[in-house]
Amino acid sequence: MHRGCIPLLIALAQVTGSSAKTVSYDWNVTWVFASPDGFGRPVIGINDDWPCPIIEADVGDFISINLNNKLGNETTGLHFHGINQINTNSMDGAVGTNQCPLPPDHSVKYRFYVSSEGKYTIGRG
Specify if 59 maps to a domain: yes
Domain count within the chain: 1
pLDDT at 83 over 60: yes
pTM: predicted TM-score of the whole model, two decimal places? 0.78
Domain that residue 16 falls in:
8-124
Specify if 3 maps to a domain: no
Specify if 114 maps to a domain: yes
* Residue 70: Cβ-neighbour burial (10 angstroms; 0-12, 13-18, 19+): middle
Specify if 2 maps to a domain: no
Specify if 79 maps to a domain: yes
Rounded to an integer, what distance in angstroms lies between the CA atom of residue 28 and that of residue 70? Answer: 6
Please report, for the domain that includes residue 89, its CATH number.
2.60.40.420
Specify if 1 maps to a domain: no
In this predicted model, what pLDDT tens digit does every residue of 19-55 receive, in sequence order?
788 999 999 999 999 998 999 999 999 999 988 888 8
